[in-house]
Amino acid sequence: MNYAKTALLMAAVTALFMGIGYLLGGGTGVVIAFCAAAAMNVFSWWSSDRMLLRMHNARPVPQGDRMGLHRMVADLARNAGLPMPAVYLIDTPQPNAFATGRNPENAAVAVTSGLMQHLSREELSGVIAHELAHIRNRDTAIMTVTATFAGAISMLANFAFFFGGRRENGMGIVGTLALMILAPLAAALVQMAISRTREYAADKAGAEICGNPLWLASALERIQAGAARIDNHAAERNPATAHMFIINPLHAHAHDSLFSTHPATANRVAALRQLAGTGDTGGRGTPGTVRNAPSRMPRIARDTGRRRGPWS
């Protein structure tokens, strides 16, 4: 995604935020909304990555962890030409992952315990490479800010229920109901426009980082299947953060079925298989070798003993 398009979309979500302020409070509401938007932009840019990690109860993974996750991230970050990001684990059985941070020097990669348990090391390598691609493309900052704005717009739209009947805003009950419904929908559309573009770009770059598009293609299919049947309770409580994940974590309850923030997984898998030069657009891909692209998968330890999770 180019910076001009990103700036345009962020301007749109800021204008929406200010527009709601006008409908609720007239000229004074615009001023208040503008000040709030400016403050939120600054705060989100610097702090929302830590907020996101706290929302999902992520905890840091130390160097030398027995599963070798920290080492895998370090090796793939070196392949991507990136500084080492912080590594976090989210204790949830749903396989998923996301990246966050305002720039590559202040970035983090978070994976779920379900991801560690359900994916092979090849598939895990593809997922981490995808998240590192987001960091290298500087998608993480804009998506973190967008998540904060989407949540704020939904909250502000709900305020219309309490203030919509005031004579000076002139909305009336019909206008109030329309605002409550359309404002969050408009914010979701902005998220969707950003997310769809960034996911395809990160898939392609991630395949280059790990050296094999089929690893990521297989991982996406496995994560999609897990997300469709396993709840992610933290994501359900914070649906505005769903677009940060590699696969929509709200699939278990069919959220955003009409306006998904993620491209169709089947389309992403098909694009990756085409990139690999297999010509296979159906069924599950078996990790193979990309033409003229040597494997860059770092080694990661296997744990065959009984365990409650990868770090217990």
Place of tokens 């610097």: 46
Strands 86-90 and 97-101 come out as unpaired
Phi, psi of 151 (to 5 degrees): -65, -40
Task: Please report where in the chains the tokens 């969050």 appear, as a residue.
Answer: 184
The active-site residue out of 122, 131, 199, 221 is: 131
Write out the two tokens for 167.
């004579």
131 is catalytic: yes
Pull the structure tokens for residue 115.
């991801």
Cα–Cα distance for residue pair 213/127, rounded to 1 Å: 10
Contacts of 41 (CB under 8 A, 6+ apart): 14, 145
Closest CA to 244 of 154, 141, 153, 155: 141
Sheet containing strand 86-90, strands side by side: 58-60, 86-90, 107-112, 97-101
**Which residues are marked as active site?**
131
